[in-house]
Structures are given as structure tokens and as C-alpha cells.
Amino acid sequence: MPNGYFGKVLWIDLSEGTFKEEELPGEIYQQYLGGYGLGTKLLYESIPAKTDALSPDAIIGYFPGLLTGSIAPLTGRFMIAGKSPLTGTWGDSNCGGYFGREIKRCGYDGILIKGAAESPKYIAIINGDMQILDADGLWGLDTTEIEEKLNEKYGDVKIAAIGPAGERLSLMSCIIHDKNRAAGRSGFGAVLGSKKLKALAIKGEQKLSIADNESLVQITKEYNTSAANAESGAMYLYNKFGLSCLNFSSVISGDAPIKNWAGTPEDFPMESLNRIVGKEVNKYRVRNYGCFSCPVQCGAVMKVPEANIKETHIPEYETCIAFGPLLLNDDLFSLFIINDLLNRAGLDTISVGGTVAFAIECFENEIIKKEDTDGIELTWGNTDAIIEIVKKIINREGFGEILADGPKKAAEIIGKGSEKFAMHSKGQVLPMHDPKFFNTLGRTYAYDPTPGRHTASSLDHFISSGLMNRNKYVKEFNLPRGFKRPGDARYEGMKMCVGLHQCINSLGMCYFTYWFQPYPLLEIIKAVVGWDLSIDDILEIGLRIQNLRQAFTVREGVILANNELPGRIVGVPPFETGPNRGKTVDYKSDFKGFCEKMGWNPENGYPLEKTLKSLDLGFVAKDLY
């Protein structure tokens, strides 16, 4: 057996009711690292071009990282991947917790699902026993209820499930596991809903072979000891406060969008901000928890008597901003309530927050009125109205039916110029990080194969970690001199960060490793898998994955080069006040320079034939040319 992976994936056909193992050659792992890099290769070859993402022909895959299942620090992540029904592009969604490790414990490097059941089903893979079972009595349960039901039946199993929103095919729906861990973006809850698949319940006993366990234990011990001794910095803050520690600094710096991206910190003054900062959120912490193999443990279980919540997950930064400053809402308890509602329903909090902001601005401008909103007074900071409209979105009830697929679809229905208040990229609501603050996020939001995503790699986001100095995050990774200034070196830096980032995802590593201490990346890969890779090898693999993601989106007929972001996102016209005053993001020039470095046609984003062939992607060149 190889080290670090099992060399096989499991295919499940819901139409046929079958399970099939596929053995994979070792070369494919060396080319794509396993994880969602492997998934990119398998899905590109298996999903026919122009497949309807909600049809039985669509395929969705769960891919634990190459390092997931080992004790290597911060490697407990997995990716869900397939075609996004929300954007019509390549889709992927990163998630932590313990589900990824359990896939490995079942003896697989991925689980891929195709077809569609005629009636609600769930899949149980318990110590090698595989079944597709009736879920009629489970359909309609929220994600907490389904997890409790299946754990009651099977004992301690790991579950990934959709809630009522996925069943109702909301394009903002997501997949939840560990009760509150969300694979939130790309609308994959709707994909499972279209397949009538309620959940996966898995448990395994397979052991992962490690190339050099002694070295891995030593490296891990040194890293984790350093993490435990941290008395400041991101590791300390994330452990003590979770990601809500960012609420304060992001608002005052101009990173966090306010009032549907049209406001400034003046619209959400200090007295409001202080009500939702990390220390206020933290007052309701019961205990920490985190992903498998993580020494930071940034998650937390909360108890909020004032909101009648006995147990819930801590609201993350994105949730706090999406339902706080973005809506001018400073009611802390509403953040707990909404976070719990959306986790149980299986809805992406970023997307729903942005959709409510769109609706409020439409209401403010009298495009919609109370007779349209079921009598709800959709005004800024109206906490009761916000909670009420969230419930309607969950249930696709009344005006919630119009909003349930996000602001792009809602604007198409409402019309009357409402589209100018829809802050999205190809249908994906934009995250709670401003390109006017993190400049290169403009290119990422507009032109990445999964548009509208802050976790898809941005040079400035990477730099912000404070570990971008030479010999820091990964000592062998050196950005070119002058990368902070516009021009050739900056575009090369963008390319390098994309390559590194795709590998980080494929390895199953946490995005926040960038923000923490130096990471012994190459040493850990060698200890787990036995491969002696250089940083150039890593970047080449990452660029192979990025080119394949890009080719998938191009093959779907989506020309991202024509995509444009809403003006207020990129400072057109520039803000006159606030920390981002006078700033305009030249994301279109960034894209052209980036394309030239990537070996893509800057006019349409097509990877050039010679680029594809140089990365052993000749099979893609045949599709595009």
C-alpha cells in the first residue's frame, strides 16, 4: 500500500443503487497530490461538458486532502467539488472537522456520487458495509436532527447532510457536517437535493501508512509545542476568540463591507461595533473544539440563554459581518439566532446575508414595498425583520421564494433596476473582504474559475498574513523582488500564490496556516508520503490544478474574462470618505497581466495550448482547441 493515501476512490451511482471501487495509478497522485487536485482530474474527465448541475448526470465528489488522516498539523480539511449550480462554473467548497479523516479511515481518497434516487435516500458506509437506505422519515429534518438520528442508529459515525434548504434546491444551500461545519459555497446542497440524497453516514477502521512516522511525530510535536506556547498573534487569538476576533479590526480598517458595500465605518459607528466584537461573542463560549490534527482549535460550542439557545456553534467572522455591519445590525443575540437557523437549514451564511442586504436596499429605494415582502419592514438594522426574512428564505415561503436562490436570481425576477444592488460575481454573493483593502481580491472575485471567493487565492490576502517575508511561511517559497508594486513582479507573485494555494487545498491544509507560524511543508510531505519534492515541484502541481479548474469553466462556455464586478465593490466611483476613500481597483489590468504569466489568452482566459501541454494537460488541449 502507498504511504499517505490508499490509491482508490469509491463511486456511488444512486440511479443504479451501486458501489464501485476504482484503483488509481500512483502517477495521478504525483501529478495532482490527491485531495481535490485528484478530484479536479477525475471530475473533469467524468462530467460531460454543459451538464446541468442539478441533473442525474452531474457528479459531486468528497475529497480529503493528501495529508488528511495523518497527524500532520492543520491537515484535517476536505473539499467537495463538482459543477456549481449557482455559477455554472467549476465549483468547490472547503470544509474542516472530522469528516475528511473518516473518508480516509474508510480506505478511500475520494467518494464520488452520480445519478439520482427516485425517493429520498441516505448512504451508510460502516466499517466496509455499504448501503443506500430509505430516508423518507429523515427528509425534512434539519442538519442537527439528522445527525442525532443517525448517530443514535449507528453510534459514533461522521455525517455530512443537507437541511431543508438543500431539499428545496436553494442555490445558496450547503452541506453540513459535525452539526455546524459547512461546505458553504457553490450551492452543493442543491446538488444533493436534486439527487434526493439526504446524508452520508460513514465510519471506518482503515489505518493510513506513513512513510517515516518517527520524523512525522517529531515535526508535529515541534510545531504543536510552538503553537501551544504562542501568547500573541493569530494562533493565540483564534484559539481564544475564534474568527470573530477579526470583527473589530476588519471594520475599522476598511476590510469589512458595510451597508451592502455602499457604507463606511461612519455608518456602523464604534458604539455599534463594540456590541459584536470578539470579546462580546466570547462571553457565551462553553468549550473549544476544532478540526482533526489542529493544535489551534478555533471553533467553539456556545450557550446563549438570552436567545434561548442551549447549544450552538460560534458565529464566524463572515457570519458576523454578513448579518452585522452589512445590514447595519448590532444585535449580538440575533447573530447567534441567525447562525443557528442557517446551520440547521443548511444555508451559506455569506450568501443569505448578502441576499438580505440586497432586499433591504431594494426596499429602501422603493423597488419593493411591504405588499411585496409579506408585510415585513425591511429596513437597515431592523433585527426582527432580518430574522423573519431569513426564516422565509429557509422555507421558500412568500417573498422568501424570490430570494432563496440569491440576489442575482432575485434581481432577474424583481427587475426595476434592482440588479445594481446585487453584490455578486456570476451569482455567488461576495465574501466579507473588500478588494479596495485587499487589492488583488478584485481579480480573484471576477476571474477565478470559482468566482466570488476570497479563499481562491489572492496575493494581497497572502501578504496580509504577516508571514510573507522570505524564509517565513514556507522557507523555500520566495516571492519576487518588487511584488508589492504594480508590474511584472506582482503578476508573477499572483501566479506563485495561486500555485501554492491550490496545493495547500489539495493537501488538506487549513487556509489559516498562512496566518500562523512557519510551516515545514516539504518536510511533512516527505515524512507522510515519502516524496522528496521541491518548491518548484509544488508550484507546478498547483498550476496544473489551476489550469484544469480554468479549463473546466471554459469548457462550460463561461467566459470569465467578460465578467464585471459591481462598481461599489471596486471603487467605481471612488468612495469619498472612510478608510477606502479615493481607491479604485484595477482588477481588469491585473487579470491581463496575470494571464500573461499563467500562459492564458488575456482576451478570453483560455489556457494556451502550449501551456496545457507543458503541464501534461494535452487531453484538455484537445477539448479547447
Of the pLDDT bands very low, low, confident and very high (cuts 50, 70, 90), residue 151 is very high
CA 201 → CA 99, 253, 435, distances in Å? 9, 43, 39
Q: Quick one: pLDDT at residue 59?
A: 98
Q: What CA–CA distances, in Å, run from 62 to 1, 55, 152, 175?
A: 21, 18, 24, 11
Per-residue pLDDT at 463: 80
If pLDDT is split at 50, 70 and 90, which confidence band does 232 have? low
- Give the model confidence (pLDDT) of 411-438 as tens digits: 999 999 999 999 999 999 999 999 999 9
Peptide bond before residue 451 is cis, with ω within 30 degrees of 0 = no
**Mean of the pLDDT values across residues 221-225?**
92
Q: Is the pLDDT of residue 470 over 70?
A: no
CATH of 233-422, one of 2.40.160.10, 1.10.3720.10, 1.10.150.120, 1.10.569.10: 1.10.569.10
Listed by start position, the domains of the chain span: 8-203, 233-422, 441-624
Following DSSP, what letter does each residue of 226-282 receive, concatenated?
Answer: HHHT--SHHHHHHHHHGGGGGHHHHHHHT-S--TTTT--GGGS-HHHHTTSSHHHHG
CATH class assigned to 8-203: alpha beta
pLDDT at residue 471 greater than cutoff 50:
no
pLDDT at 583 over 70: yes
Proportion of the chain above pLDDT 70, given as a percent? 99
pLDDT at 468: 42
Binning pLDDT at 50, 70 and 90, where does residue 229 land? confident
Residue 120: predicted pLDDT: 98
pLDDT of res. 469: 42
Taken as a whole, the chain contains a residue count of 625
Q: Is 480 a residue whose pLDDT tops 80? A: yes
- Longest CA–CA separation in the chain, Å: 68
465 confidence band (pLDDT: 50, 70, 90): low
Q: Average per-residue pLDDT in the chain?
A: 95
Rounded Cα distance, 78 and 337, in Å: 27
User: Where do the DSSP E strands lie in 378-441?
Assistant: 424-425, 428-429
Class of domain 441-624: mainly alpha
Give the mean model confidence (pLDDT) for residues 254-279: 97
Residue 45 has pLDDT above 90, yes or no: yes
Q: What is the pLDDT of residue 466?
A: 53
Question: Alpha carbon of 64 to those of 111, 126, 219, 354: distances in Å?
Answer: 9, 18, 21, 29
Q: Mean per-residue pLDDT for 362-368?
A: 98
What's the rounded mean pLDDT across residues 303-309? 96
Residue 138 to residue 200: CA distance in whole angstroms: 12
Strand partners, 159: 201
Q: Who has greater pLDDT, 58 or 241?
A: 58
Displacement of CA 530 from its chain's centroid (Å):
29
pLDDT category at 601 given cuts 50, 70, 90 is very high
pTM, entire model:
0.97
**The pLDDT of residue 262:** 98
H or E stretch at 197: strand 197-203
